[in-house]
Amino acid sequence: MALYSEPVTGTRKVGVLGASGYVGAELLRLLAAHPRFEVTAVTASSQEGREVADLYPSLAAAYPGLAYRPQELASVAGTDLVFCALPHGASQKLVPGLLGEVGHVVDLAADFRLKDASAYPRWYKEEHTCPELLEEAVFGLPELDRARLPGARLVAAAGCYVTAATLALAPLVGAGLVEPEGLVVDAASGVSGAGRKPADNTQFCSVDEDFTAYGLLVHRHTPEMEQAIGGQVLFTPHLAPMNRGILATCYARPAGHGPVDALGALVEAYREEPFVLAGERIPSTKAVLGSNVAHVTARSDPRTGWVVAICALDNLVKGASGQAVQCANAVMGWPETLGLPMAGLMP
């Protein structure tokens, strides 16, 4: 990975918009251990005035007395960098104003990930309100393209499903080892991926001892995968009865008639990447729990002719908040590993 020359000294003030959700809470957990980011403001439209420790006692020791402010620009004025952990559509209303008030913005929603503004009405059922920012926004998956991150004003951090599928498939497509058309991604996510807001299909009695597919053929993260991977993707997400984690099993056809060393390609692609571990070991969601590391592997099947590539990651860390902090580190010109967990939790 790239090394940066700025000495790791001093701190930068950070604000978190939407800090009451699972992604926002995970951001606060990670930032509490960061040596250079100091959280000075958090917002939540549904929790205004409430202390973070009352909503998340797990954060009480790290943020004593910190309370949620109104979800408005004035709440994070004066910060050096703002993380937006808001539902889709909300960032579009705030980011244009934020860019004039703070140094950098890292958005964790999908509002600025797609480069083609015309894709938003098709996949999100609404027009994009500030399409002029789509070209400027840097897609935040450092392993894919970190060159544009240092100094970026606006970063659109890649989400969990897209990160898992892209880490598994992009090196194979990019090297011409597999056909870019007809890629298949079957991925299962823990329930935290649906957010903290209650819903009928995410209640305990609905999720427990169940495993179901959803968003058939029309899941809105499909175009992000196609944009990042550089191919045509059939994506089927699944909801698994676990708190955290994503396991993406991806299928592709070899581009030629000879054998494909898919595993070798992944190992070579991620040899210098601290947050992607490629090898023979079959990835599991438990192995990456709480860490910012993704585990990947691949096999080529001579019997069926298919190539299968698998990625496991923690949807709240490498799939969301950890990814955002990794991008923010790069934006500031610091080592991407700063303040991020390399080891998972076990048991």
Catalytically annotated residues: 160
Distance of alpha carbon 164 from the chain centroid: 9
Among left, alpha and beta (phi > 0; psi -120 to 50; other), residue 176 is left
Closest CA to 32 of 63, 71, 3, 6: 63
Closest CA to 215 of 239, 231, 247, 233: 239
d(CA 234, CA 310): 15
d(CA 223, CA 230): 10
Distance of alpha carbon 227 from the chain centroid: 15
Our CA angle for 80, 86, 90, nearest 5°, is 100
Residues constituting the chain: 347
CB-based contact 17:82 (threshold 8 Å): yes
Closest CA to 327 of 82, 73, 26: 82
Q: Give the residues across from 139 on adjacent strands.
A: 156
d(CA 145, CA 247): 23
CB-based contact 152:138 (threshold 8 Å): yes
Taking the CA of residue 255 as centre, how many other CA atoms within 13 Å lie in the half-sphere pointing to its CB?
13
- Residue 38: what are its φ and ψ, rounded to 5°? -120, 115
Tell me if residue 166 falls in helix, strand or coil.
helix
Q: How many helices (H) and strands (E) does the chain have?
A: 9, 14
